Amino acid sequence: MLEVRNITKTIDTFALKNISFEVTQGEYFVLLGKSGVGKTVLLEIISGLLEPDNGHIILDGHDVTKEKIQKRHIGIVYQDKALFPHLSVQENLSYPLRCRRVSRKEIYTRIEQLAEDIGFMPLLKRKPETLSSGEAQRVALARTLATEPKCLLLDEPISSLDIQAKSEIRALLRRINRSGQTMIHVTHDYEEAISLATRIAVMEDGKISQVGSPYEVFQHPKSEFVAKFIGIKNIFKGELRNSGNELAEFVTEGKRFFILSDKESGTGSMVLRGEDITISNTNLQTSARNTFKGIITDIEMDRLSSEVTVDIGIEMSALITRDSMKKLCLRLGKEVWINFKATAPRYIEE
Amino acid sequence: MQLNNKNHILELKKPDIRELFFIAMGGLVLLFIIAPLAGMFINSSLGGLLDAAKDDAVQKSIWLTLWVSMAGTLILAIFAIPFSYLLARKNFPLKRLITGIVDLPIVIPHTAAGIAILGVISRNSVIGKLAKEIDFSFVGNPAGIMVAMAFVSLPFLINGAREGFASVPERLEKAALTLGATPIRVFFTISLPLAWRSVLSGLIMMWARGLSEFGAVIVIAYHPMVTPVLIFERFSSFGLKYARPVAALFIIVCLVIFIILRLLAENKNARS
């Protein structure tokens, strides 16, 4: 449906290098990357606001790289909403329709329809400055949807919203996508990506380093960068010793872990998600091949879960529920056991 | 906002020595501006002012000054406003040189500007000869006055409008483009309305500066007489006593118009 082919762009010190990916009809495609990695520039190239140095944008089989912005049928919604401050909500919404010379009567019907769908009927007469951030984002979305874009580009549409508005807008975006709208959403927030995406592309240093389903990207990060970026805290550099006959061993700072890997011996990183580590007060006999004694050095509480850091010679973070925290009476300085299966960690070679 | 006001009041409550010193300096500056003007009004009687207002020559010259400056401002605005937009938005080679050129009329002596303009529009110049073909002469004509006024006052419009355009977030223009607007439409529906306050202020400043021009105008046209020239003529022929009421009257007329324009501009802004 939309194909980005070998896009290259250099602006001052920053560069997009040979970016390629394809988005299929109705897909929710998330570009995940740190701020400043060039995500917005890429969106502006797709929408036609910027011209790439090299490469092509193919929309429905047509090369639109040189096509005028107005004729591309690609809509973009910015993080700061970009509502026109001198126009009322209604005028903002009718702006794209007026550009298309839609009749007054039809503009009125379409705006009413949109306001009802997106849910901001009472706001029509208001000025953008009087809207809450969530309301403004709804209006900005509706304004772009009024153009009936073939592909909707979203530039960090949720980041600047408060928690309540965040979940509302997320639900709205999902609903818009389910109605068949193809969407490309850029964000630095991996939870947002996991919650919305059908596929994720990870951007790193001006390049796309991994494309896959949220599960693939999250569970099987291809590089240390991806692992670090999506918030996996247990990343250790070390050496893999794999004889090929039995379980491989990963050695780091004098600690040995059993790890299931078909990679050859060598240096690399072991990543382990906090959710895969269990904590107990005694040394339990389980099927887990990795069991270590350590001392709790840090506890970071979240709304539902706690991240417990245990020093077993090296520090490991386990994510456990607050309920378990209470039952096990975990506190700083307490001696505990941690366990994880050899199938849990992932080895990423260098 | 409220918090700011509060801070402001707190600051005023406890001025330190430095602040008192600065306030005193500010007072002197204001006095420097106000004293001569106030003196002029104190020294001109109401009868004198009324006489000046009834004087046909004075009426004609004030009217001439107002409309010629206005016409020059509006005509040049058609060219200057799009140019200001370019200066605000685009980077191009020699941009600094060009912005420097725009400011030239402010820094050169205005009689010198008048001489320079005369070189371009006098009967012997190319433009002058062309005008002669249709039996028209800039010299001694309101059109010549207009050129002189516009020349010296144009930087006020360009600089004002440029600042206005620069303050419009580029993202709004980009959003409008992606919503299907042509670049021209974006300029008229987004950029210009959002920069309007600065543009209007630039227009008012250009007009005001044009009204008060003496040096460049007198080189090009002693007649018909614009008010600054008339004031000078009354002064050099009859003395201070006769020049003062005309000057006072002209200042009153200008002030009233500017205050009205400013209020209108602010109202419009408040509404939008």
- Write the residue in A75, A80, A86 that is nearest to B178 by C-beta: A75
ipTM computed for the complex: 0.77
Q: Does B171 sit within 8 Å of A99, measured CB to CB?
A: no
Kindly state whether residue B29 falls inside one of the protein's structural domains: no
- The residue segments making up the domain with residue B179 are 51-271
Asked whether the predicted pLDDT for residue B121 surpasses 70, the reply is yes
Q: Are residues A175 and A49 in the same domain?
A: yes
Looking at the fold, whether A118 and A259 belong to one and the same domain comes out as no
Cβ of B171 within 8 Å of Cβ of A70? The answer is no
pLDDT tens digits for range A284-311: 888 888 999 999 998 877 777 888 999 9
Last residue in a domain, options A198, A228, A258: A228
Q: Does residue A123 sit at the B interface (CB-CB below 8 Å)?
A: no
- The reply to whether A327 touches chain B by the CB within 8 Å rule is no
Tokens of B259: 């205050």
Q: A150 and A8 share a domain? A: yes
pLDDT in tens, A198-255: 898 988 888 888 898 876 776 667 766 676 666 667 878 889 998 877 789 999 988 9
Domain with residue B261: its CATH number is: 1.10.3720.10
Nearest Cα to Cα of residue A206 among A10, A57, A348, A5? A10
Confidence category of residue B160, pLDDT binned at 50, 70, 90: very high
What mean pLDDT comes out for the span B46-70? Answer: 91
Same domain, residue pair A50 and A197: yes
Inter-residue contact B229 to B246 (CB < 8 Å): no
CB contact under 8 A, B178 and A86: no
Q: Above pLDDT 90, what percent of chain B?
A: 63
- The single residue listed with the structure tokens 């002469």 is B137
Statement to judge: residues A16 and A79 lie in one domain: yes
Q: Is the pLDDT of residue B3 over 60?
A: no
pLDDT, position B233:
93
Residue A115 pLDDT > 60: yes
CATH number of the domain that residue A309 is part of: 2.40.50.100
Could you give the angle at the alpha carbon of B127 between the alpha carbons of B123 and B130, nearest 5°?
Answer: 85
| Nearest residue to A214 (alpha-carbon basis) of A229, A232, A194 | A194
Mutation target among B89, B167, B172, B178 for the A interface, most CBs of A within 10 A = B178
| Same domain membership, residue A199 and residue A313 | no
pLDDT value for B272: 46
Angstrom distance (rounded) from CA B76 to CA B102: 13
- β-pairing, A335-340 with A278-280? antiparallel
Domain range spanning residue A256? 232-349
pLDDT at B1 over 50: no
Instruction: Measure the CA–CA gap between B232 and B242, rounded to whole angstroms.
Output: 10
Cβ contacts of A268 within 8 Å, gap of 6 or more:
A237, A238, A239, A240, A347, A348, A349, A350
Residue in B with minimal Cα distance to A44: B174
Rounded Cα distance, B131 and B182, in Å = 39
In sequence order, the 6+-apart residues with CB closer than 8 A to the CB of A50 are A9, A41, A44
Q: Do A203 and A83 sit in the same domain of this protein? A: yes
Give chain A's mean pLDDT: 87
pLDDT value of residue A230: 62
**Interval A47-58 mean pLDDT:** 91
Does position B2 have pLDDT exceeding 50, yes or no? Answer: no
How much of chain B, in percent, has pLDDT values that exceed 70? 93
Our CA-based measurement puts residue B268 at a distance from the nearest CA of chain A, in whole angstroms, of 11
B21 vs B265: which has the higher pLDDT: B21
Find chain A residues with C-beta within 8 A of B193's C-beta: 86
Residue B239 belongs to some domain of the structure: yes
Farthest-apart Cα atoms in chain B, separation: 72
Q: How far is CA B16 from the centre of its chain?
A: 38
Whether the predicted pLDDT of B271 surpasses 70: no
Quick check: B174 contacting A, CB < 8 Å?
A: yes
Q: Would you say residue B122 lies in a domain? A: yes
CA torsion sign for B140, B141, B145, B151 is negative
DSSP codes, B35-68: HHHHHHHHHS-HHHHHHHHH-HHHHHHHHHHHHH
> Which residue, of A228, A258, A288, is where some domain finishes?
A228
Tokens of B123: 């009967």
The amino acid present at A303, given as its one-letter code, is R
Q: Which of A70, A84, A96 sits opposite B190 (nearest CB)?
A: A84
User: What pLDDT is attached to residue A170?
Assistant: 86
pLDDT at B207 over 90: yes
Higher pLDDT, A306 or B178: B178
Is B211 among the domain residues? yes
Percent of chain A with pLDDT over 90: 38
Q: In this structure, are A59 and A127 located in the same domain? A: yes
Domain assignment present for B44? no
Q: Note whether A88 and B194 are within 8 A (CB).
A: no
DSSP string over B191-208? IHHHHHHHHHHHHHHHHH
How much of chain A is helix, strand and coil, in % rounded to 5? 30, 35, 35
pLDDT value of position B166: 96
Total count of domains within chain A: 2
Residues A61 and A103 in one domain: yes
Number of H helices, E strands in chain B: 14, 0
Suggest the residue from A11, A44, A59, A69 to mutate for an interface test with chain B (most B CBs closer than 10 A).
Answer: A69
In a shared domain, residues A45 and A78: yes
Per-position b or e across A287-319, b if 16+ CB within 10 A of its CB? ebbbbbebebeeeeeeeebbebbbebeeebbbb
Q: What is the pLDDT of residues A312-347, one digit of tens each?
A: 998 888 989 988 888 999 999 999 999 999 999 988
Task: Tokens for B41, please give them.
Answer: 């009004």
Alpha-carbon gap, residue B137 to B124, rounded angstroms: 11
**How many Å lie between the alpha carbon of B219 and the closest alpha carbon of chain A?**
45
pLDDT attached to residue A30: 93
Query: Pairing state of beta strands A290-301 and A305-311?
Result: antiparallel
End position of a domain, from candidates A176, A202, A228: A228
Asked whether residue B115 is domain-assigned, the answer is yes
A107, A49 Cβ separation under 8 angstroms: no
Of residues A263 and B29, more confidently modeled: B29
The distance of B76 to chain A (nearest Cα, Å) reads 26
CATH assignment of the domain containing A99 = 3.40.50.300
In a domain, B20, yes or no: no
Question: What is the arithmetic mean of pLDDT over B206-215?
Answer: 93
Distance CA B69, CA A349 (A): 77
Contacts of A251 (CB under 8 A, 6+ apart): A238, A239, A241, A257
Domain assignment of residue B17, yes or no: no
Quick one: A116 and A191 in the same domain? Answer: yes
Range of lowest pLDDT (A282-286, A340-344, B88-92, B230-234): A282-286
Distance between CA atoms of residues B118 and B122, nearest Å: 5
Residues A105 and A250 in one domain: no
Per-residue pLDDT for A160 more than 90? no
**Tally of domains in chain B:** 1
| Terminal Cα distance for chain A, rounded | 35
Band (pLDDT 50/70/90 cuts) for residue A189 is confident
